[in-house]
Amino acid sequence: MSHPHPELGTPPKLPKGGLRVTPLGGLGEIGRNMTVFEYGGRLLIVDCGVLFPEEEQPGIDLILPDFTTIRDRLDDVEGIVLTHGHEDHIGGVPYLLRLKPDIPLIGSKLTLALIEAKLQEHRIRPYTLEVKEGQRERIGVFDCEFIAVNHSIPDALAVAIRTPAGMAVATGDFKMDQLPLDGRLTDLHAFARLSEEGIDLLLSDSTNAEVPGFVPPERDIQNVLRTVFANAQKRIIVASFASHVHRIQQILDTAHEYGRRVAFVGRSMVRNMGIARDLGYLKVPAGLVVDVKTLDDLPDDEVVLVCTGSQGEPMAALSRMANRDHQIRIVQGDTVILASSLIPGNENAVYRVINGLTRWGANVVHKGNAKVHVSGHASAGELLYFYNICKPKNLMPVHGEWRHLRANAELGALTGVPKDHIVIAEDGVVVDLIDGKAKIVGKVQAGYVYVDGLSVGDVTETSLKDRRILGDEGIISVFIVVDSSSGKIVGAPHIQARGSGIDDSAFSAVVPKIEEALNKSAQDGVMEPHQLQQLVRRTVGKWVSDTYRRRPMILPVVVEV
């Protein structure tokens, strides 16, 4: 198995007749999925998603793929193929189309409807091409065939990309539910047909590669939901991804069965469920769904609320309910169902929400204490089955953290893929398919691009480090006036602290040290304000560290008079 090395340099020019694959997100992480395929100087992008921030990225709204390597080549992009409508696969599209709005978007009906609604908020009207399973389209130099795959959102597609260099197949996210709610199976017959033709490079979902066996059918959840609904005394509040149509369909069916009305809470939930209903993917019995404003007129035991926030997102409806910062107030006897898995990295945030809800008297039902979620990603047993059908000549695990990628690579090796034909890459690592062999040839820039409000890419790792210091240790500001001609200090330094845990009166102990350091610097002829600021920062920083074992941010201001 080949893997990246720190010494990887800039990749050479792609040889004539070769296919280049460059993942710009989704490898070594869960989210931000984006892969660029290049043949004959032309580019095809598969997915363009976002990653949601963790605690060590305070103030960040979203994390985008790094478009640097393609920014000057957007005229070479034939199109963006979207495998399905989850945020980690479509959320970055508006930011890419800001750079070139006329790049065609190719996807299924539901996927395009979801991204078009999102783009409308960004005032972008895209050029789209709707495709469905079994369809084959020429997208510039790329001959693309679309294959039905089963996932936790309807209308998901894999894509087979044919070029003279060979055929690459990107699975997108998939599993093999044999009893799907919508009857739409992963098309193993199509994959077997592609296998007969010869799959030169398979890019396969790795998320559940560590999990043995097979994913249980989605419909297994129905009986668990019935039990929860039968035992619920007051309101039922369900938190789910705003795109999990199958799960919400089961909630609607169960609510109808138990005589409850349903209201959607949260802008993205209302929007996405409206789209799914209008396109026929969500079957809603007449009179079942009501406006959230009418809930006060209904008894508590006739109410179901469906909202976002299953991952503990701080601004989502459920988190705000847990913090008593929402119009809907949790009361003793409410039942809350977290109908989703825990995305790695979100565990602390989710348990914080569970504790907050429990504090107000809610009975919280989640994956840890009831079978209210099944995964949308193939487990190890399904992946083995899949590889034996596809028989790929080369395998590149994608969509997963390092442990997932390696586990997926091992599964591929067990089914007979030669180890030197299995490529474990990471974001930015360039893989070339030449003469039937995939190998790593270099690395391009593929760092995090942070979205903070209207700012895109302006927040750096240094900025985040400063934010973490401010959050953990606080800030100390030191205001000093010096004589511009002599460099000597004029008056006593003014020192204030915020969030450091140090009382302002305690700084009287450090004032003599500051004055001594500045007087010495004046004698040495050091009078430049920036140098004096650095001197003050070192002096105060050493005193705080020695006295309190803390490292707050120190902000010195030196004014000359």
* Cβ proximity of 390 and 191 under 8 Å: yes
For the chain, how far is it from start to end, CA to CA, in angstroms? 67
Tabulate helix, strand, coil % of the chain (nearest 5): 35, 25, 45
377 is in an annotated binding site: yes
CB neighbours of 375 closer than 8 A, spacing ≥ 6? Answer: 152, 175, 207, 208, 211, 215, 341
Cα–Cα distance measured from residue 235 to residue 334, given in angstroms and rounded to the nearest whole number: 5
Cα–Cα distance measured from residue 94 to residue 410, given in angstroms and rounded to the nearest whole number: 36
375 is in an annotated binding site: yes
In this structure, what token pair is assigned to residue 120? Answer: 């409308």
For tokens 């959102």, name the residue: 153
Q: What are phi and psi of 284, to 5 degrees?
A: -115, 115
The angle subtended at Cα 206 by Cα 202 and Cα 207, nearest 5°, is: 150
β-bridge partners, 289: 262
* Cβ proximity of 162 and 143 under 8 Å: yes
In this structure, what token pair is assigned to residue 155? Answer: 């209308």
What DSSP letter does each residue of 472-499 carry, written as one string?
Answer: HH-EEEEEEEE-TTT--B-S--EEEEES
Secondary element (H or E) of residue 465: helix 461-473
Cα–Cα distance measured from residue 532 to residue 526, given in angstroms and rounded to the nearest whole number: 8
Q: Measured between alpha carbons, how far is residue 331 from residues 171, 299, 321, 326 in Å?
A: 44, 14, 10, 13
β-bridge partners, 262: 289, 304
The C-alpha torsion from 482 through 483 and 488 to 490, rounded to 10°, is: -60
Cα–Cα distance measured from residue 164 to residue 209, given in angstroms and rounded to the nearest whole number: 31
Secondary element (H or E) of residue 225: helix 221-231
DSSP reduced 3-state for 410: helix
In this structure, what token pair is assigned to residue 334? Answer: 């409410």
Q: Measured between alpha carbons, how far is residue 541 from residues 354, 414, 547, 552 in Å?
A: 40, 56, 10, 8
**Burial degree of 327 (CB within 10 A; 0-12, 13-18, 19+):** exposed
CB neighbours of 379 closer than 8 A, spacing ≥ 6? Answer: 175, 208, 209, 211, 212, 213, 214, 215
9 is in an annotated binding site: no
In single-letter form, the type of residue at position 425 comes to: A
374 is in an annotated binding site: yes
In this structure, what token pair is assigned to residue 316? Answer: 């989502």
Cα–Cα distance measured from residue 425 to residue 405, given in angstroms and rounded to the nearest whole number: 9
From the annotation, which residues make up the binding site for substrate? 373-377
Binding residues, as ranges, are: 373-377
